[in-house]
Amino acid sequence: MRKYKERIFNIIQIGTKDNLLSRSFDYFIVIVIFLNLFATLFSTYKESERYSEVLYAIELVTSVIFTIEYILRVWTAEYLYPGESKIGSKVKFIFSFYGIIDLLTFLPFYLPLFFPAGAVAFRLLRVIRIFRLFKINTQYDAFNVITSVLKEKKNQLISSCVMILILMVASSLCMYSVEHDVQPDAFKNAFSGIWWSASTLLTVGYGDIYPVTTIGKVLAIVISFLGVGMVAIPTGIISAGFVEHYSLISEGRNYMLSDETEFKEVLIKPQSEWKDKKIKDLDVSRLAMIVMIRRGDQVIIPRGDTVIKADDKVIMYTKRN
């Protein structure tokens, strides 16, 4: 039974190219998601009334598939979180980000059956199912790079966003003080000033609210210049993060060609003690360093919270004495 459960777990997880059954399941789920989204989107058109039974059948079948998948993921959660107890692993999955996404994927279909009064509100939750596509994208190198950069630069990004928020509030109060007496309908309160400052600082400029006084126009010019610089800060941080990330990849590849280091490639077998462990929890010699992980045709730059999977090729290097 345990071997059967582990086999189910390996199938429903994101598969590598050499795992045909798991990859087929991934493609099947993606097709089901798109069918479900198509039914949701097409049902908003008037022309869909004649196909209402077909659309309902699609929603019913796809929701049942999502339900079965969710039950299987809860059932096999102990392999996803090997460090937790059986009950603890299930609870951890249920309250995880993707666990909640999986639950909300099919739950809005069943809730109106028990609570008809809230049918409209429950239908709005169906939009969340599109986030399931991120579960597939997270296994690709391009998406991994984006998430890695955002995690590494989160403190700088938060600081820049706080600076933008401070400037937004200050500029809104200044503009409200200058323009309120002249055009009270446009700048009714501080929120009107925030709306104007947001559209100005973010270079959108809807034109529904704008200054008419000379002082207000001068302030708008200054704030516009500051806004261009402020908005460019997060862009620069993210761009620098991408450069650093790909520099690490290039550096790792250059190390492979260096005479100053010795490299060792370790294939993680299903019975390996490294399997399903985070890098920070591994017992690695101080003279060695994990510089790269090859997962199929992907190249992953490891972080402390990177989880080693079965069939991964872990590349380590040590300096020559």
Q: Are 302 and 177 in the same domain?
A: no
Q: Is residue 148 domain-resident?
A: no
Task: Give pLDDT tens digits along the chain (321 positions).
Answer: 677 788 888 888 766 566 778 888 888 888 888 888 888 788 878 888 888 899 889 989 988 998 999 999 999 888 888 778 888 889 988 988 778 878 877 887 787 777 666 555 556 666 666 666 665 555 455 566 677 777 778 888 888 888 888 888 888 888 888 888 888 888 888 777 888 888 877 777 677 788 888 888 888 888 888 888 887 888 888 888 877 767 766 655 555 555 555 667 778 887 787 787 777 777 665 556 777 787 766 667 676 677 888 878 887 766 555
Q: Are 103 and 14 in the same domain?
A: yes
Q: Are 174 and 216 in the same domain?
A: yes
Q: Are 233 and 282 in the same domain?
A: no
pLDDT of residue 74: 92
Q: Are 67 and 119 in the same domain?
A: yes
Q: Is residue 252 domain-resident?
A: no
Q: Is residue 212 domain-resident?
A: yes
Q: What is the Cα–Cα distance from 302 to 288, expressed in whole angstroms?
A: 14
Give the domain CATH number at 303: 3.30.70.1450
Q: Are 232 and 283 in the same domain?
A: no
Q: Is residue 217 domain-resident?
A: yes
pLDDT of residue 128: 64
Domains in the chain: how many in total?
A: 3
pLDDT of residue 316: 75
Domain range for residue 60?
A: 2-138
Q: Are 86 and 188 in the same domain?
A: no
Q: Is residue 149 domain-resident?
A: no
pLDDT of residue 195: 83
Q: Which of 240, 270, 287 is the last residue of a domain?
A: 240
Give the domain CATH number at 67: 1.20.120
pLDDT of residue 144: 61
Tens of pLDDT, residue by residue over 124-173, are 666 666 666 665 555 455 566 677 777 778 888 888 888 888 888 888 88
Could you count the other beta carbons within 10 Å of the beta carbon of residue 46? 6
Q: Are 6 and 131 in the same domain?
A: yes
Q: Are 167 and 106 in the same domain?
A: no
Q: What is the Cα–Cα distance from 189 to 195, expressed in whole angstroms?
A: 10
pLDDT of residue 61: 93
pLDDT of residue 127: 65
Q: Is residue 199 domain-resident?
A: yes
Q: Are 93 and 128 in the same domain?
A: yes
Q: Which of 138, 167, 189 is the last residue of a domain?
A: 138
Q: Are 6 and 117 in the same domain?
A: yes
Q: Are 39 and 12 in the same domain?
A: yes
